[in-house]
Structure 1
């Protein structure tokens, strides 16, 4: 399982130019069943993603395809988590 942090760079003001492509990229992540959750880092610091079911290398490639990453609107950090214990609603995270 991974947490992806997408922190705004000095090019934050260009985000609106690439928002449609970024949203399509997010949609593909959900359609491919890799993204479990996407949300905003508060207060207005960027975004975050919880991803599952893909290797780190594949996720790095996916993240690099995000127009926000490609255009240096955000910088990406991928944190790998090895789940050890979870609430029963999240037990699916423990099986991979």
Structure 2
């Protein structure tokens, strides 16, 4: 778990991850990422210790927001 948390912290420090957290149903977690090319993001996800050791499998889903709240738009612009 410590190595996974370090991986998340690095993604946040790099400005790629905006947030990360567990799902309420205990069935995994999610990370919101921005500003990294798809192939680089995929490589980053493969370096997650949970993924490297086969503890979890990761799906990357691209989102193209159509409507964005001003506060989120500002956060995304700053990232």
C-alpha separation in 1, matches of 2:20 and 2:46: 16
1:82 aligned to 58, 61, 64, which one? 64
Which aligned runs of 4 or more in structure 1 are off by greater than 3 angstroms? Answer: none
Structure with more strand by fraction: 1
**For residue 60 of structure 1, what is the aligned residue in structure 2?**
42
Higher relative contact order (CA 8 A, sep 6+): 1
Structural RMSD (CA): 1.3
C-alpha separation in 1, matches of 2:24 and 2:57: 16
**For residue 17 of structure 2, what is the aligned residue in structure 1?**
35
The unaligned stretches of length 5 or more in structure 1 are 1-18
TM-score normalised according to structure 2 size = 0.89
Matched, 1:22 2:8: no
Instruction: Number of aligned residue pairs: give it.
Output: 76
C-alpha separation in 2, matches of 1:87 and 1:44: 28
The unaligned stretches of length 5 or more in structure 2 are none
TM-score normalised according to structure 1 size = 0.74
